[in-house]
């Protein structure tokens, strides 16, 4: 396990974004996980969608191909620490982004996201944007 895919990366996979799908297909099974937080965000999108059955099928297919990483107490503790740190510095990021960052840090994972602007505020977090990176 090396990578934690955020919600926008999962959406890129479901929409067959060429660079993202290429990077994902080059990895071994088990190299990528998604958070239960991301699962929640994806299902929220399904519930708001005009074609929920079609989108539900896409989410179900994605969830069959990656492991879901539960958001646990250690991730919660780290996310709480990050929130306090970022609030104090006036550098807040979105609440779900804080949860994912805390989870990635605790698990020692690289967070894959196109939301570089937000996540680069998190000290110590390793991030990659597969939309633009070819490695």
Tens digit of each residue's pLDDT (9 = 90 or more) over 40-92: 999 999 999 998 998 999 999 999 889 999 999 999 999 999 999 999 999 99
Are the C-beta atoms of residues 35 and 4 closer than 8 Å to each other? Answer: yes
Q: Answer whether residue 121 shows pLDDT above 80.
A: yes
What sign has the CA pseudo-torsion 121, 126, 129, 135?
A: positive
Are the C-beta atoms of residues 6 and 100 closer than 8 Å to each other? Answer: yes
Task: Tell which CATH classification among 3.40.50.1010, 3.40.640.10, 3.90.1150.10, 2.120.10.30 matches the domain 3-128.
Answer: 3.40.50.1010
Alpha helices in the chain (DSSP H): 7-14, 18-25, 36-48, 52-65, 73-89, 95-107, 116-119
Residues paired with 32 in a beta bridge: 3
User: Which pLDDT score is estimated for 65?
Assistant: 86
């Amino acid at each position: 396990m090396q990578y934690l895919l955020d919600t926008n990366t999962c959406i890129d996979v479901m929409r067959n974004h060429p660079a993202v799908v290429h990077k994902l297909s080059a990895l071994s099974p088990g190299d990528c996980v998604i958070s239960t937080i991301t699962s929640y965000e994806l299902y929220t999108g399904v519930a708001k969608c005009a074609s929920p059955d079609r989108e539900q099928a896409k989410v179900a297919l994605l969830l069959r191909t990656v492991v879901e990483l539960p958001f646990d107490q250690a991730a919660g503790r780290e996310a709480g620490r990050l929130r306090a740190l970022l609030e104090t510095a006036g550098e807040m990021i979105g609440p779900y982004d804080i949860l994912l960052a805390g989870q990635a840090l605790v698990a020692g994972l690289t967070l894959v996201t196109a939301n570089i602007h937000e996540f680069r505020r998190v000290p110590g977090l390793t991030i990659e944007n597969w939309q633009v990176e070819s490695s």
